[in-house]
Structure 1
Amino acid sequence: MQKYNLDPAFHIERMTLDEFKAVIKWTRTEGWNPGINDAEVLYGVDPEGFLIGKIGDELVCSVTAVIYQKMYAFMGMYIVHPKYRGQGYGIAMWQEAMRRLEELNVEMIAMEATMEQIDHFKKSGFEVGYFHDRFVYHVTGGERETAKVWDVTEESKTDVCEYDAGFHPEVREGFAEKWLQIPGVYAVYWSDRIHGKIMGYGVIREAAEGYRVGPLYAHDVTVASEIFEALCSKAQIGARLCVDIPETNDKGIMLMKNRCGEPCGRLARMYKGKALQPRLNEMFGLYSVKVG
């Protein structure tokens, strides 16, 4: 293994919220297109898992190793400032994050990887679980809400959050509720109001470029399509919407293709440890590729 001579002043510590916001700005130049108001919510999941590498006071690299509750963790925001790439700082950061999770006896770790990174992360014991594809859709102005799609309100928020919890291996206490409170977010759910059962919900939020849709969970593609229409109806004509869909969700992929959505990238969801069997066929849009 190649050895690196790191600057003696390099150190790793817990990231502050302001530092996290600075790192998010880095990701915009890499084409990650995060939501413009995501920082506070993401940081609140597990602040102890946000790590920053510095030389003195200068930010060098970052990684998040966020624990949902106890047994499941998600790694993301693994990025090195261009000035310091190829010098071993990212590796040191990665090793520190993995050490933390091992000490806490986490049973399963998930992460996203570009196609070029897959072999690299396999060396750390990760295996590909599935792939997901990113699509860009441009609002036409012809999208409309239907009678069974309702705005998420204070009265319906608890039921929506309970529905959301069924898509995750462990409860992220208060996360979905806080996600729904992101400034400028618009959220809807699908219910016939007769049986009172929620069959899907979706969220749209402003991003660095256009909007991001996520999550978008639904019982079937018909419900997903109606939710997607309702979300689009709140954006201006021509607005650019990004959505990430598991490639195994054939109907979700076709939904975007039939609407002339443009594929613009693919990432691998990788796991280390206990295998996870998520409800991929009901996932028509992920929260964020950096938080799961």
Structure 2
Amino acid sequence: MTGFEITGAGAADMELMRSWADAEGWNPGDHDRFAFAAADPEGFLVGRLDGEPAACVSAVRYGAGFGFIGFYITRPDLRGQGYGIQVWRAATARLAGRLVGLDGVVEQQDNYRASGFRSAWTNMRYQGVPGGGDEPDAGAGDGIGIIDAAALPFVRLAAYDRRFFPESRDAFLSLWTGLPGHTARAAVRDGRIEGLGVIRPCGSGAPRIGPLYAETPEVAAALLRRLAGYAPDGEVVLDVPDANPAATALAAGLGLAPVFETARMYTGPVPELDLAHLYGITSLELG
């Protein structure tokens, strides 16, 4: 390993990590890195061989007890030489003592199990133009309005998001819902938040929707169709947890096709999340 060192990622490294993830077919958002860096500025690591990036990983800390690993990639021409395991060990060391989650691609899941991770559910990526309903919010329910999420006090959005994530992530969420190109819409009834969704552009593929939260399948469908209206040709991508059967049924019922899968895995007990109302995860990279 002469000439190999692991350092924190800089701005150029973050863009490189996005392009590497893009090459893997993960379809990261164009501006995700800005929100990612806000979540934990020191949580992104790059392994350099003779000064050149060779491998990367993210190990983001949330609160006092949770962490999430993502962006675990070794440059294709350097795979099988031990560089990836070095950044992996640096990531796990950074999150020592915490419950750790990740979204593992199929071919790596056995390796993650060997490192102490256990599957909690499968995230199936669905893609297509959502059908059903002539109007974007058709069938949302009586009294439901779909509005710009920025019109709501941020503290209420953060409290709603907290139902679906093990720790608060306010710095991340404030950017995620407001970055250029990100469109966030909330479903509201009598002043109560009944759903939240965000769509963002992805350079090499269809725009991704995530998160998608909703109190009913009808609200989820309405938000999904409304957000798809911001996609250039209406085609979107949504990562659906099979732990919510209603979410899987909705994606299939709207004509979306499964194209890719990962496993949500944890090192310990599965966090108590509101899975019954989680229709699309936020991101494969940071949970």
TM range (shorter): over 0.9
For the residue of structure 2 that corresponds to 1:36, the secondary structure is: coil
For the residue of structure 2 that corresponds to 1:153, the secondary structure is: helix
Number of equivalenced pairs:
280
For the residue of structure 1 that corresponds to 2:179, the secondary structure is: coil
1:1-20 alignment, distance < 5 Å = 6=1, 8-20=2-14
Find the counterpart in structure 1 of residue 181 from structure 2.
184
Which deviates the most, 80-89 or 159-168? 159-168
Aligned with residue 109 of structure 2, among 118, 123, 130: 118
AA paired with 1:144? Answer: P
Q: Is the 8 A contact 1:132 1:268 kept in 2?
A: yes
Find the counterpart in structure 2 of residue 228 from structure 1.
224
Aligned with residue 248 of structure 2, among 240, 253, 258: 253
| 1:190 to 1:82, Cα distance in 2 relative to 1, 3 A | same
**Structure 1 residue 165: deviation in Å?**
1.8
Find the counterpart in structure 1 of residue 166 from structure 2.
169
Q: Is the 8 A contact 2:38 2:171 kept in 1?
A: no
* Cα distance in 1 for residues equivalent to 2:182 and 2:197: 10
Find the counterpart in structure 2 of residue 145 from structure 1.
137
Q: Is the 8 A contact 1:139 1:235 kept in 2?
A: no
What's the TM-score once normalised by structure 1's chain length? 0.91
**Structure 1 residue 156: deviation in Å?**
3.9
* Cα distance in 2 for residues equivalent to 1:133 and 1:73: 22
**Structure 1 residue 155: deviation in Å?**
4.1
AA paired with 1:233? Answer: G
Q: Is the 8 A contact 2:118 2:267 kept in 1?
A: yes
Aligned with residue 97 of structure 1, among 86, 91, 96: 91
AA paired with 1:40? Answer: F
AA paired with 2:126? Answer: F
AA paired with 1:177? Answer: S
* Cα distance in 1 for residues equivalent to 2:247 and 2:188: 20
* Cα distance in 2 for residues equivalent to 1:94 and 1:153: 37
Q: Is the 8 A contact 1:24 1:34 kept in 2?
A: yes
Which deviates the most, 152-161 or 36-45? 152-161
Backbone CA RMSD of aligned residues: 1.7
AA paired with 2:118? Answer: E
Q: Is the 8 A contact 1:134 1:264 kept in 2?
A: yes
The reply to whether residue 265 of structure 1 matches residue 256 of structure 2 is no
Give per-residue Cα distances to partners, 1:116-150, cap 9 Å, x unaligned.
21111111111111111100022669552355211
Q: Is the 8 A contact 2:197 2:223 kept in 1?
A: yes
* Cα distance in 2 for residues equivalent to 1:156 and 1:46: 23
1:58-69 alignment, distance < 5 Å = 58-69=52-63
| 1:139 to 1:168, Cα distance in 2 relative to 1, 3 A | closer
Report runs of 4+ in structure 1 exceeding 4 Å deviation. Answer: 139-143
For the residue of structure 2 that corresponds to 1:33, the secondary structure is: coil
Unmatched segments (≥5 aa) in structure 1: 1-5
1:267-286 alignment, distance < 5 Å = 267-286=262-281
Which deviates the most, 172-181 or 138-147? 138-147
AA paired with 1:224? Answer: A
Give per-residue Cα distances to partners, 1:240-273, cap 9 Å, x unaligned.
3110011121111111111110100111011003
Unmatched segments (≥5 aa) in structure 2: 139-143
